Structure 1
Amino acid sequence: MSWFSWNEPYYRSPRREPTEVVTDTLMLELSWQMKEAERLQRERDNEYRRLKSGVDYSWLVSTPRSSFDISQGERLGLEDLCSKVPASYCGSVIQRFRQVLMENEPELQEVSGLFRSVLLETLERVHEEQEAQRLTHQWNNRCSISLSLMSFKSRVRINPFGSTLGLKSNSYEFSQMHVTHKVVPLHLAQQSKYTDYHGITRNSTGTTRLQCCFKFEQVFFYIYIQPSPW
């Protein structure tokens, strides 16, 4: 008989959420490590009795059933922490948990506490990495916006003889900025607290220009302003 029959209906198992898979995987790891810790503790006790009495009776002793289990409240708390662990960190949690157990050789009652500490440590690291990624993404967005706005700074033309500075660009409508700059004498511009003064330069025709900048939406625009005569 064929393994697959086209006449039989196909039942697809419901897809489980990643949080459920992570929680079950980590809790199974805890259960297995608790059984392993109990086995090692039993071996240590047998070895101690053998050294004390000089006779090995371990072959007469049957393996007892597990006599220790975590409380329901503690289990629910651990499951809640496990559900917050991203799926990509599940393997690192198991690896870190096993490393901690190997380094400490805990008693059976201490295993769940170490498991909780590993979960909290992992969640803290996840939070720090997510915060760093958020700040990096925010910084990259600001840089891209700043570069796009600064790309036309060399195309800005300034009319120094009007009551306002007429800003024109081929790629952007400065009229939408609603930014008005009043022309002031050179010595006042140098002393203005609103202007970042950089220095005085002279072009090939001998015209004096003031290099300064103005700020718009957290972006500094560096421009040359020819001072009006006084």
Structure 2
Amino acid sequence: MSLLAWLGWSEAPSRLSSRSPADMVLETLMMELAGQMREAEKQQRERRQAVRKVCTGVDYSWLASAPRPSYDLSPGERLQLEDVCAKIHPSYCGPAILRFRQLLAEREPEVQEVARLFRTVLQEVLERMKQEEEAHRLTRQWSLRPRGNLGTFKTRARIAPFASDIRTISEDVERDAPPPPRTWSMPEFRDPKAD
């Protein structure tokens, strides 16, 4: 009997392929919450043992194995968190987990605060999703607008080429006035007999 069959891994690919991305995001986020709650509980227990050891001067933790109190979410709170997790788009799952871990590393919360921080991160992600969706909708709406407004803008813009203060040769010819000497970039041609 192979090790894969014994562990039940041969069934995993077929089970994974039948799940929707939303279900996978939900499961991933809830597994992250459960893992972080276990880790926070472990750190909280270690802090209590360290304080007890300092207070008594002796470590008896190896002698007594008291049942470990385990903090668990209430069913209502779990359902609310699952509802929010189901709204998260798969592309935001990774950033949500990273932000959650960052907050936990910064604050080192108690076990009871972990679920509240998780909810805060999920709300931030949902807000960012709404903002990006709105921005995408506005840019799409702008790109699909008819181009008629630019056409009316072009007809309103008039160029008046003769309203300039720059003198031209044609103005001098029309007025029968002699051009000023050497004001143009052309060489001056004169009839030597005229002098």
Q: Does the C-alpha gap of structure 1 residues 93 and 200 become closer, same or farther in structure 2, counting only changes over 3 Å?
A: closer
Distance 1:19 1:199, change over 3 A: closer
Is 1:119 the counterpart of 2:122 in the alignment? yes
Partner Cα distance (1:12, 1:72) in 2: 30
| TM-score normalised over the length of structure 2 | 0.68
- Aligned-pair distance for 1:140? 1.4
Task: Say what the alpha-carbon RMSD is for the aligned residues.
Answer: 3.1
Q: 1:52 to 1:202 in 2, by over 3 A?
A: closer
Instruction: Report SS of the residue matched to 1:59.
Output: coil
Structure with the higher helix share, 1 or 2: 2
CA distance 1:24–1:12, shift in 2 (3 Å): closer
Output one character per residue of 1:84-132: Cα deviation in whole Å (capped at 9) or x when no partner: 0000010111110011111111111111011000000110011001100
| Equivalent residue, structure 2, for 1:16 | 19
Instruction: Give the C-alpha shift of residue 199 in structure 1.
Output: 6.1
1:64 paired residue number: 67
Higher RCO, 1 vs 2 (CA within 8 Å, ≥6 residues apart) = 2
Q: Distance in 1 between matches of 2:105 and 2:159?
A: 70
Rg (Cα) greater in structure:
2
Return the alpha-carbon distance in structure 1 between the equivalents of residues 137 and 35 of structure 2: 37
Partner of residue 88 from structure 1, selected from 88, 91, 115: 91
Match of 1:105 among 104, 108, 116: 108
Pairing of 1:149-188 with structure 2 (within 5 A):
150=151
Measured after TM superposition, the shift of residue 61 of structure 1 is: 3.6
Which among 30, 34, 44 is matched to residue 31 of structure 1?
34
Classify the secondary structure of the residue corresponding to 2:147: helix
Whose strand proportion is higher, 1 or 2? 1
Identity of aligned residues (%): 53
